[in-house]
Structure 1
């Protein structure tokens, strides 16, 4: 009991408990009491982004002695947080729009729970997304190709994280949406509508987005990392970094 009470003092303890219960029971409930956890979806998303930034910096410190991509020094954590937050909000709005459109055909209302469900889902998936981004960047820097794993460990970790992410997306967003729509449509039709909603939101997200790419990558830090990795002679450092930054600006 003392140990469990001590854990409550740790940063993010309340958030972790909240996400644990959400993963266990991700159903969309519209009753006043049942929907209460979803009402904190925005708060949970902000907590998730803060914890993701803390997580990446801490993990980078732990992995200092391992030859792996120095993520926090090259990917700006502030703009990474803004980018992930903007992505969640934009996808949430599009998903809510399409889902509520179909639901309003049967029951008038705002149906904000769809938006909240997306926010809660992103709160969980943000951790997996940043790990996958880290692995992808490490592959690009090390092998020059995102499809070429650095090692068998990288292949297994990346594949495992990808599978878990897809399974969680299915469990936390797709299934609850189909079940909620099942209140107003047949089971087959609700699954079809969920597929349409998901695809429409993804398609819209490709054209409606906020681009942080110019600020996300610390070009000088990235080029210095490549310089140290390629072991270029000291006298050529300025030339190498200048050409590297010029190449990134051009592309």
Structure 2
């Protein structure tokens, strides 16, 4: 997005069509007569958790919103970290396999290519023999009219389905490996993992965190805290939107 001019440029992993180059700020301001702030949801979420939630009192927090894509929000030394182009996919496209699967970003082996809902469902479809498909459902085509859903995969994993658990475990280990690198770079006090990928699967969350902790030279004192969903879970982004407005007027320097 172009945050300064309030334009949505080309949202990644956005299901609805027709949202390229939309001057959203101007449109909403014209229709409401109110000033409008445009920002990424993950930025709002990390601000909400840091100011009012599980990261209250901490100076550095990482927030990952994991679903069909992976969105990143970071507070470092009390300030919201912004990229030069306001991208929120900095963690999603960290490379964890230099010879890995091609990613839509043009690189290979990105975290999101293995550890998003789309990637997990693709891996599950590749592992599932056709004869084991439930009647009337298509496990091999995640985009079919009646696809086998991520929620169903999570239920099968909870029921100890070997394939479902292995696919989730592989994806979680890869995310945890990338997360360990991200933590090493930013040295936060709190890491919040949230979004449907995490909130629908305790198993995925636990494996991911354990994989990150196995590579923990950055936490010799054991001070790093992990949180599943944070204090606000699925409400973090909406609470963060309100927090962004408050910060904009009261502490603009904290917004970077």
TM-score, normalising length: structure 1: 0.26
More helix, by proportion: 1
Higher strand share: 2
Higher relative contact order (CA 8 A, sep 6+): 1
Tell me the TM-score normalized by structure 2.
Answer: 0.26
